Chain A
Amino acid sequence: MNAVSAAEAPTVADFARTFRHVQTQIHKVIVGHQQAVEELLSALFAGGHVLIEGVPGTGKTTLVKTLGLALNLSFNRVQFTVDLMPADITGTRVILSSEDGRREFSFQPGPVFCHILLGDEINRATPKTQSALLECMAELQVTVSGITHALKPPYFVMATLNPIEMEGTYPLPEAQLDRFLFKVRLEYPNENEMVRIVTNTTGPEEAGVEPVFPVAEAAGRIEALKHLVREVMVAQPIEHYAARMVRATQPSSSRYIGQQSNGLRVDAVDRYVSFGASPRGAQALIMGAKVRALLDGRANVAYEDIDQVAPAALQHRVMLNYAAHSDGIDAGHIIERVIQAVRPARA
């Protein structure tokens, strides 16, 4: 149903045009956050999931909701709380009585059965509930009572994190953080943006979002665009560059990795990082870079694409140690230093 014929296969130009169109629709509602929206859409077309971090009131939920509307895909929202159970999001078997009076167990799908899922304040749920999302995100399926239920592509999870009010929260485990392709930061709006937000949201009319795709075609068109992203070519030197960058996020003293064969040492990493990015980080770099290449009208990835997606792709995969927290060093700073260290190795 969602398959797109060869004649309808999107071109590089189609991709860029569609992308910009969706972006425009989102910005009808969302004021500012250009980079965040671009990263969000990049993650969607790269087939990944996004972790959104921002203080309250910066439009996290609105952004996700607007995206669902613009893409004309099914959208669910789950407010994660401390008493939320896994079955509350995946679904559970309930006893239903049929017309003939017989009672039987039937699977009632949870909110994860949709195209776009918003997990609001995911760090307020217990790790058990958080990890219930792992299977959905990684394998696009849900297993309940030994029965596996497939999720319909495209499947896109957006989880929000509130960096303040950390009391009573459960920081996401590394394994779950690693499953998010990008981590997007929503910055606090400046004065002009705030005025526009107030104007747009306090008037008699709310800004409307026009869907980019018809409902029937939306999933298929998005899947075709995702397939196009995978067709973008990457030269081996650029793959090596991405791999080198990911390896450079590992401290040289780490006992979890082997000998650093490239001999690249970054002082900031050695000092402030307890564990660096996993191979999923390299995958995220390449996939994000492919989207950026298509947006630039290219069928190949450039070094610049890798550099541009590196902060979003790697910062949530770098585990900082106590020295970093005490010195006020954040992951973005570390990634910046890593890029500077790896850049000379291009030639």
Chain B
Amino acid sequence: MDHGAAESRGEEKFRLILSQVSAIRGRLNALALQQGLFGGLTFILGAAVLVVGAAFAFGPLTFLLTAVAIVAATLAGVARTASGAWRMRTSDERAARIADERAALKGRLTTMVDAAQVEQRSTLWPYLVEDTLALREEFVAARIEPRQVSRWLWAALVSCAVAAVVMRLAYGVRNSRLAANSHVVSAPGEPTVDLGDLDIRPVDPSREPGTQIDADPATLRKLAEKLRDARHGGQPGSPASRLMANARDAARALQDKLTGGKPAASASRLKLTDKAGADKDGADADKGAARNQTHQQDHQQANGKDSGSGQQSDHNQPQPSGAPPPAPPDTSGLAALDGLNSDSPTSGGSDVKNLRKLAQAGPLGAGGPEHGSGSDPRHLFGDAEKPPLGNDTFKIPVEVEPSEDGSSNPAPPSPPQRIRSTLNASQAPDEPFERASIPASDRVTIKRVFER
């Protein structure tokens, strides 16, 4: 009877010890779970911040590579954190071992948990239970593992805060860019080509509307090829380059989603505007009469109309009359364009023809038979046509032509800036001299000097 009661008391004490071990296990497992969750969250948020930053900082291909690297690193980090958390998960045996080590219990708990599965226990078992129970204050869960919250929580909170700030900034920039770019709408069916690697410069930056583009024959050839590629869906011939173009498009699309697209200034497009004139090859020689005149922005073309309608809209644009006669065509770039025409008579024909016509039109300032529609005398009359509401997009009619000097002698972007410096005491500021009245006796002399 007494032996049985003592045995049941012993079992009760044993269960008490086991419950403390289970509490330690629960706490350790909770920490492992937190490490897995918060660690993964930290990596994901950090990666998101980096990807958004890369979207703003880099071009499409660099962004694509950076984003792939970040995603790979994030996956590796998440996997590592998850596997670390998985390894941290604890059984009763392991919890007992950890408690033994941290509380210097010299294997008491390990032995108890191990002996719990043994039916035939040692005669020293009651001694072990009493001995271990006497030390139970040493192995309460809070002493073995004081932390209830994983350190990864702080990392996750910091990354959340950083992500919130970055996302807010990015959202603001994106919205402002979207607003700025809302008037730039790509017209369906219009080829848009990347001119990034072409060395093209405006001849005179001060001539804003209808800027003429000056480029060497090689650039013109590239431009013609790009136009032809763009007509074929923007995909160059080789599979590798097609793949690259697809990757770039995808990266750009993602980047635009994140950033709202590039600012409008850098998204300007070049478009040949005298497509219709090219079709009516040699129809109207007067079109080149106003070669040197400023070309007007064609709102109608930017609105997605085809070149014919664009042409119609041009009829309403007032153009100055009395343009100088067309200069002899500069044929320095013509051979390249001719070569292009002969190479692909069907694919890029119209664009190349346009370029060719422009090239035939001669150097800057020279008129030509196929000059831009803005020079058509027929457009000089009639009422001005209002641009449609809700569409602020515009296109710069660009004329390209071969040039002797090519791109080796770029035009200055703007007049030199005036620099003012402080004057010393002996200096006086520049002030215009007042026009003095010329004495009558000197007038004859002065007149003679200037006549000489």
Query: Are A300 and B101 touching (Cβ within 8 A)?
Result: no
Separation of A9 and B97 alpha carbons in the complex (Å): 31
Partner pick for A302 among B106, B114, B124, B128, CB 8 A cutoff: B106
Chain A residues positioned under 8 Å from B98 (CB to CB) = 347
**Are B127 and A237 in touch, CB under 8 angstroms?**
no
Task: Tell me if B111 is interfacial: C-beta within 8 Å of chain A.
Answer: yes
In the complex, what distance in Å separates the CA atom of A231 from the CA atom of B126?
Answer: 12
Q: Which residues of B, 229-286, contact A by the 8 Å Cβ criterion? A: none
- Cα distance A234–B131 in the bound complex, in angstroms: 15
Q: Are B114 and A235 closer than 8 Å at their CB atoms?
A: yes
Q: Please determine whether B115 and A233 come into contact, CB atoms closer than 8 angstroms.
A: yes
Bitwise, B104-115 to A at CB < 8 A (1) or not (0) is 001110110111
Complex interface bits, A215-258 against B, C-beta within 8 A gives 1, otherwise 0:
00000000000001001111111100000000000000000000
Q: A298-B108, A301-B107, A347-B101 are known contacts. Are A237 and B124 too (CB-CB below 8 A)?
A: no
Q: By the criterion CB–CB under 8 Å, are B106 and A233 in contact? A: no
**Residue in A299, A303, A346 whose beta carbon sits within 8 Å of that of B124 in the complex:** A299
Between A231, A237, A299, the greatest number of chain B beta carbons within 10 A of the residue's beta carbon is seen for: A299
Q: How far is the CB of A165 from chain B (nearest CB, A)?
A: 43
Partner of B107 from the list A12, A228, A238, A347 (CB cut-off 8 Å) is A238
The A/B interface has a contact count, at CB < 8 Å, of 62
Q: Check: A11 CB closer than 8 A to any chain B CB.
A: yes
| Interface: A304 (CB within 8 A) | yes
**Complex Cα spacing A233 to B97, Å:** 15
Q: Contact check, A237 vs B110: say whether CB atoms are below 8 A apart.
A: yes
For residue B136, give the distance in angstroms from its CB to the closest CB of chain A.
16
Dominant secondary structure at the B interface:
helix
Report B-chain residues with C-beta under 8 Å of the C-beta of A228: 124
Q: Report the nearest A residue to B128, measured CB to CB.
A: A299
- Is A302 touching B122 in the complex (CB atoms < 8 A)? no
The answer to whether A303 touches B122, judged by C-beta atoms less than 8 angstroms apart, is: no
Given the known interface contacts A298-B108, A302-B107, the answer about A237 and B93 at a Cβ–Cβ threshold of 8 Å is yes
Per-position binary interface string of chain A over residues 263-307, scored 1 when its CB falls under 8 Å from any chain B CB and 0 otherwise: 000000000000000000000000000000000111111111000
> Are B110 and A235 closer than 8 Å at their CB atoms?
yes
Which of A9, A235, A302, A346: most chain B Cβ within 10 A?
A235
CA A303 to CA B107, docked complex, whole Å = 7
- Highest count of chain B CB atoms <10 Å: which of A299, A300, A301: A300
Does B408 count as interface, using CB distance less than 8 angstroms?
Answer: no
| Nearest-neighbor residue (CB-CB) of B94 within chain A | A347
* Docked complex: B334-370 residues within 8 A CB-CB of A: none
**List of A residues within 8 angstroms of B97 by Cβ:** 237, 346-347
The answer to whether the Cβ of B426 comes within 8 Å of any Cβ in the partner chain is no
Q: Out of B108, B114, B123, name the residue touching A237 (CB < 8 Å).
A: B114
Encoded as 1 (CB less than 8 Å from any B CB) or 0, chain A from 334 to 347 comes to 00000000000011
With A303-B107, A347-B97 known as contacts, the answer to whether A235 contacts B122 (CB < 8 A) is no
User: Chain A 11-49, CB within 8 Å of chain B: the 1/0 string?
Assistant: 110000000000000000000000000000000000000
B124 touching A233 by the CB < 8 A rule?
A: yes
CA distance A237 to B97 in the complex (A): 9
Contact of A233 among B93, B101, B128 (CB under 8 A): B128
* One of B93, B123, B128 near A300 (C-beta < 8 A): B128
Rounded to whole angstroms, the CA-CA distance of A231 and B101 in the bound complex is: 23
Cα–Cα distance between A236 and B115 once the two chains are bound (Å): 9
B367-394 CB mask vs A (1 if < 8 Å, else 0) is: 0000000000000000000000000000
B171 within 8 A of A: no
Interface string of B6-18 (1 = CB under 8 A from A): 0000000000000
Is B106's CB under 8 angstroms from A304's CB? yes
Contact yes or no, A299 B107, CB < 8 A: no
User: What is the CA–CA distance of A300 and B131 in the complex, to the nearest angstrom?
Assistant: 10
CB–CB B131/A299 < 8 A: yes
In the bound complex, residues from chain A placing their C-beta under 8 Å from that of B58 are none
Q: Is the CB of B107 within 8 A of A236?
A: no
Q: Which A residues are CB-close (under 8 A) to B93?
A: 237
Kindly report which residue of chain B lies nearest to residue A299, judged by CB atoms.
B124
A347 nearest CB neighbor, chain B only: B97
Chain A residues, Cβ within 8 Å of B127: 11-12, 299
Q: Which residue of B lies closest to A303 (CB)?
A: B107
On chain A, the residues within 8 Å of B125 by CB distance are 233, 299
Query: How many Å from the CB of A241 to the closest CB on chain B?
Result: 10
Which residue from chain B places its CB closest to the CB of A230 in the assembled complex?
B122
Q: Which residues of A contact B110 (CB under 8 A)?
A: 235, 237-238, 300
Instruction: Determine the chain A residues whose CB is within 8 A of the CB of B107 once the complex forms.
Output: 235, 238, 298, 300-303
* Residue of A233, A236, A296 with highest tally of chain B CB at under 10 A: A233
Pairwise interchain contact B124-A232, C-beta atoms closer than 8 A: yes
* Known A299-B122, A347-B97, A347-B101; contact A236-B106, beta-carbon cutoff 8 A: no
Question: From residue 109 to 167 of chain B, which have CB atoms closer than 8 A to chain A?
Answer: 110-111, 113-115, 122-125, 127-128, 131
Please provide the chain B residues from 70 to 120 with a CB less than 8 Å away from any CB of chain A in the complex: 93, 97-98, 100-101, 106-108, 110-111, 113-115
Which residues on the A side are within 8 Å of B108 (C-beta)? 298, 300
Contact of A233 with B131 in the complex, beta carbons under 8 Å: no
Q: How far is the CB of B354 from chain A (nearest CB, A)?
A: 75
> From residue A245, how far is it (CB to closest CB) to chain B in Å?
15
Separation of A235 and B113 alpha carbons in the complex (Å): 8
Q: When chains A and B are docked, how far (Å) is the Cα of A301 from the Cα of B122?
A: 13
| Contact of A232 with B122 in the complex, beta carbons under 8 Å | yes
| Contact flag A231-B123 (CB < 8 Å), given A238-B107, A238-B110 | yes
With both beta carbons as reference points, the residue of chain B lying nearest to A301 in the complex is identified as B107
Contact A234 B111 (CB under 8 A): yes
Q: Contact at B106–A296, with CB atoms within 8 Å?
A: yes
Q: Complex: how many Å from CA A232 to CA B115? A: 12
In whole angstroms, what is the CA distance A287 to B243 when docked? 72
- Given A297-B131, A299-B122, A299-B131, 4 other A-B contacts at CB below 8 A? A237-B93, A237-B110, A299-B125, A300-B128
Report, nearest first, the 10 A-B pairs whose CB atoms are least far apart.
A302-B106, A299-B124, A300-B111, A302-B107, A235-B114, A299-B128, A235-B111, A235-B110, A299-B127, A231-B122
Query: What are 12 A-B pairs at a CB distance below 8 A?
Result: A9-B123, A232-B122, A233-B115, A235-B110, A237-B93, A297-B131, A298-B106, A298-B107, A299-B122, A300-B110, A301-B111, A303-B107
